[in-house]
Amino acid sequence: MKKIILIGLAMATIGCLNSSLGAQTSPYDKYLTVADLEAAGKLTGVKIVPYDPSKGAGENLNFALADGNMALIATFQMLKPKEYDQYKGQMKSYIRGSVPGIGDDAFDGPPGNYPYVLCFKKRDWVVSLSTFFDTKSGKQIFSMEQLSALAKVVIGRL
């Protein structure tokens, strides 16, 4: 009887370890999901990438395409109004312009023809969505219009 109980406990422990190691969840994954990215970009096979700056996955949420190339990273932070003003002031040289209609304030960047970052504020939340460039076509994986649509999804969930 003791053997059966010990085997059962061992199996339960292994099962718990496997499920917790495989999950790789983030407290932010309720704000932006694989399904959201697939819908916005008309993509399939998007996956969450665990935090690993050496692979370009150095933010709160990291998404890759089916082929493993990074697609989008998302950063979430809480800033009080004065902190946000300081943050935006520090980003001044990286800002291309304001993006109306998204949250309390939004801007994109960097300056030039190919902005790939959309930063927005809603209440005390400041979120940055950054897309990558497709290694084959050289085009952005998500356009600014698609990043704007994703931003509105996030804002609806904050």
pLDDT in tens, 7-49: 333 333 333 333 333 445 789 999 999 999 999 999 999 999 9
User: Rounded to whole angstroms, how far apart are CA atoms 135 and 58?
Assistant: 19
**What is the per-residue pLDDT for 89?**
96
Average pLDDT estimate for 71-81: 97
Where in the chain are the domains?
Answer: 27-157
Average pLDDT estimate for 58-78: 96
Check if the beta carbon of residue 72 is closer than 8 Å to that of residue 127: no
pLDDT in tens, 82-106: 999 999 999 999 999 999 999 999 9
pLDDT in tens, 146-157: 999 999 999 999
**What is the per-residue pLDDT for 20?**
36
**What is the per-residue pLDDT for 9?**
34
**What is the per-residue pLDDT for 110?**
97
Sheet order of strands, 105-109 included: 47-48, 61-64, 70-78, 125-131, 117-122, 105-109, 97-98
Confidence tier at 61 by pLDDT (50, 70, 90)? very high
Average pLDDT estimate for 124-142: 95
Check if the beta carbon of residue 117 is closer than 8 Å to that of residue 143: no
* Dihedral angle over CA of 99, 100, 101, 102, nearest 10: 30
User: Rounded to whole angstroms, how far apart are CA atoms 40 and 30?
Assistant: 16
CATH T-level topology, domain 27-157:
Protein Transport Mog1p; Chain A (3.40.1000)
